[in-house]
Amino acid sequence: MPGTLLGSHLLLGQPAMTSPVPAVTSMATSTSLASAAPGSFVQSIDWVAIAPPLIAALAALGVLLADLFLPAERKRALGWLSVGGLALALIALLPLAHGDARSTFCLRNVAGATGNAALSSGACSYVADHFTLAFQLLALGGGLIAALLSVHTVDEEKLPGGEYWFLLLSSATGAALLPASRDLATLIIALEVASLPAFALVGLRRDGRGAEAALKFFLSSVTATAVMLLGVSFVYAATGSLHLSAIADGLAHAPAQLKPLAEAGAALTLVGFAFKVAAVPFHFWLPDTYTGAPIPIAGYLSVVGKAAGLSGLALVTTIAFRPYGHTWGLALAVLAALTMTAGNVAALRQRGGTPHSAVRLLAWSSVGQAGYLLVPLAAAGYSEAAEPIGATVVYALIYGVVNLGAFAVVAAVSRSTGSRLDDYAGLFARRRWTALALAFFLLCLAGLPPGIVGLFGKVVVFRAAVDAGLGWLAVVMAVNVVIALYYYLVWTAKLFAPAEQPVTERRLPAPLAATLGLTAAVAAVLSVAPQLVLQVAGGSLF
């Protein structure tokens, strides 16, 4: 990973290298560890800032190596190694949480940032600010929960351990790198590092469904990347830079004959990201992919995969394409309205008796939730500052916790009965706490007390829309919340209904029980003290 980063940077840094001033970062925040002698051509790297993705990447390599030397009966240790690696990466976020944003891989002079101190600090390829930290928390935390969920899945479904854990860690690394990247090349590389392992993870279960799911996912995602790359090349041609802040400058001052090119480039880039977040009309791959994938991977994709796409979209729109704010604001608002409506209506149509209907329902509901997540992004297009983005971050964090919790319950129930919605009838009688936890998660997703944290997530999203003057979008979202409540409620009611037939319950594996307890506890604590997560919406992010 560091190699990739450095490589991409050096490539981009060529103008700076040829300039008389050596490309030395003068960031006061860089640690003594990383400080280089002035005048040297060696870049100084803020190792603390890049630690979270770096640790995850090293853990991935470590797992791959350990897989070669561990005897077959001890492969279980790989899972715990990965969990430990992700936990370490999460701990590495702590030193960054306080203090100012830290940047590394910076250029002194790039096009559009000549000599201006404020702008040159934006011409960094890696920035660890609050936005980055929040999304890294989501990516690594989501990865950790998915890893805990996977421990027994890998065993029971006889998935190849070394590959599975390596791919999961690699994908989490990409997702953690993405929100920190501030130039388009790093951004796309991070996005691909996050997605490419995911294709393989989806296809790891070697049955027909897994292969089909992986192929669908792969084809749609590769198309998206291709479209996005075309867009990026147009933008680069029009503005002469890949750094996001420099692009914003370049777009504002682009010569008239390059305007169409720049606009087409921006539009194509957005289309690419729309694929990644599964916004309508680029969402068809999603339900089949989720049902074909192992359940922990479906949960991982629904949270971390979406978070990666969203953070990229947020960075590109609010920083790089700032001058086109009103245009993409409207486009994203329409996209948000379509996405939430299509997702919720499709989720409404899931019938309890069809195979995998629980996973399909969560898949479609995640499309609907992606629609809500897009609302503050759209609102950001209409406001001067990037403030509304905070609502997306808050909602994504809340959604991440409760959606992974719901997937944990699905994983638990599918071990004993199956993953049809009808299999959940009478769960309360069989497994009190599991049923109560699922009811709580579903009500959080629906945004109704006692799921207070989900309710406040919706409130901040509504607030972003109302503040930006997007009243119509707020009303569309209100209707959608009601539609969504119906299917969440039908599922919740099923938990307390009498069972169809007696079921013998298997004991819950410890990692699964731990995941359930962890997610439920976090959601419950956040319901009592929503300030813990909502403060993200209050402060400045960038």
Partner 1 sequence: MNAVLIALLLLPLLGAVATLAPLGTDPQAADRRALRLGVAVTGAVLLLTVVLAVGFDHGAPSRMQAVTDLRWIPAIGVRFHLGVDGISLPLIVLTALLTFLCAVYSTKRLPDGEGTPSARSFTGLLLLLEVGMLATFAVLDLVLFFVAFEIVLIPMYFLIARWGSGQRVPAANRFILYTLLGSAVMLLGFLLIGAQAGTFDMTELAAAHGSGLSHTTQVIAALAIVAGLAVKAPAWPLHSWLPDAHTSAPTVGSVLLAGVLLKMGTYGLVRILLPIVPDGTATFAPYLGALAAVGIVYGSLACLALARPGAKGDLKRLIAYSSVGHMGFVLLGIASLTPVGVNGALFANIAHGLITGLLFFLVGAVKDRYGTADLDTLAGTTGAALYGRAPRIGALLAFAAVASLGLPGLAGFWGELLAMFGAFDPAAGLSRPAFVTYMVIAGLGTLLTAGYLLLVVKRVCMGDPSAPPAGGPEGAGQPAPVAEIPDIRPYEAVSWSPLAALTLVAGLWPALLLGLSDPAVKHLLGGG
Rounded to a whole number of angstroms, the minimum distance from the CB of residue 440 to partner 1 is 11
Q: Which is nearer to partner 1, 5 or 465 (CB)?
A: 465
Rounded to a whole number of angstroms, the minimum distance from the CB of residue 467 to partner 1 is 5
Q: Which helix (H) or strand (E) holds 103?
A: strand 102-106
As a 3-state breakdown, the chain gives helix, strand, coil percent values, each rounded to 5, of 75, 0, 25
Q: Which is nearer to partner 1, 286 or 443 (CB)?
A: 443
Decide if 532 contacts 401 (C-beta within 8 A): no
For tokens 């980055």, name the residue. 132
Rounded to a whole number of angstroms, the minimum distance from the CB of residue 538 to partner 1 is 3
Residue type, 542: F
Report the chain's terminal Cα–Cα distance, integer Å: 24
Dihedrals phi, psi of 290, to nearest 5 degrees: -65, -40
Rounded to a whole number of angstroms, the minimum distance from the CB of residue 505 to partner 1 is 18
Q: Which is nearer to partner 1, 48 or 380 (CB)?
A: 380
Q: Which is nearer to partner 1, 209 or 463 (CB)?
A: 463
Rounded to a whole number of angstroms, the minimum distance from the CB of residue 531 to partner 1 is 5
Nearest CA among 100, 23, 96 for reference residue 55: 96
Rounded to a whole number of angstroms, the minimum distance from the CB of residue 533 to partner 1 is 9
Decide if 511 contacts 155 (C-beta within 8 A): no
Q: Which is nearer to partner 1, 230 or 524 (CB)?
A: 524
Q: Which is nearer to partner 1, 155 or 467 (CB)?
A: 467
Q: Which is nearer to partner 1, 274 or 537 (CB)?
A: 537
Q: What DSSP assignment string belongs to 147-214?
A: HHHHHHHHHHTT--HHHHHHHHHHHHHHHHHGGGB-BHHHHHHHHHHHHHHHHHHHHTS-SHHHHHHH
And the tokens for 342? 């299509």
Whole-angstrom Cα distance, residue 515 to residue 512?
A: 5
Q: Which is nearer to partner 1, 436 or 514 (CB)?
A: 436
Q: Which is nearer to partner 1, 165 or 440 (CB)?
A: 440
Q: Is the dihedral of CA 487, 491, 494, 496 positive or negative?
A: negative
Nearest CA among 376, 427, 426, 422 for reference residue 399: 376
Neighbours of 77 (CB within 10 A): 14
Rounded to a whole number of angstroms, the minimum distance from the CB of residue 497 to partner 1 is 7
Whole-angstrom Cα distance, residue 298 to residue 303?
A: 9
Rounded to a whole number of angstroms, the minimum distance from the CB of residue 465 to partner 1 is 8
Which residues are near partner 1 by CB under 8 A? Answer: 436, 443, 448-450, 452, 455-456, 459-460, 462-463, 466-467, 471, 474-475, 478-479, 481-482, 485-486, 489, 493, 496-498, 530-531, 534-538
Whole-angstrom Cα distance, residue 400 to residue 203?
A: 23
Q: Which is nearer to partner 1, 199 or 395 (CB)?
A: 395
Residue type, 251: L
Q: Which is nearer to partner 1, 253 or 432 (CB)?
A: 432
From residue 283, alpha-carbon distances to 202, 222, 279, 364, 532 in Å are 17, 14, 6, 9, 32
Decide if 131 contacts 542 (C-beta within 8 A): yes
Whole-angstrom Cα distance, residue 142 to residue 146?
A: 6
Whole-angstrom Cα distance, residue 477 to residue 135?
A: 24
Q: Which is nearer to partner 1, 130 or 356 (CB)?
A: 130
Q: Which is nearer to partner 1, 154 or 526 (CB)?
A: 526
For residue 242, the SS3 value is: coil
Rounded to a whole number of angstroms, the minimum distance from the CB of residue 112 to partner 1 is 34
Rounded to a whole number of angstroms, the minimum distance from the CB of residue 147 to partner 1 is 30
Rounded to a whole number of angstroms, the minimum distance from the CB of residue 432 to partner 1 is 8
Rounded to a whole number of angstroms, the minimum distance from the CB of residue 2 to partner 1 is 36
And the tokens for 416? 């004993």
Dihedrals phi, psi of 21, to nearest 5 degrees: -80, 125
Whole-angstrom Cα distance, residue 271 to residue 275?
A: 6
Rounded to a whole number of angstroms, the minimum distance from the CB of residue 481 to partner 1 is 5
Crossing angle between the packed helical segments 208-239 and 285-292, to the nearest 10 degrees: 130
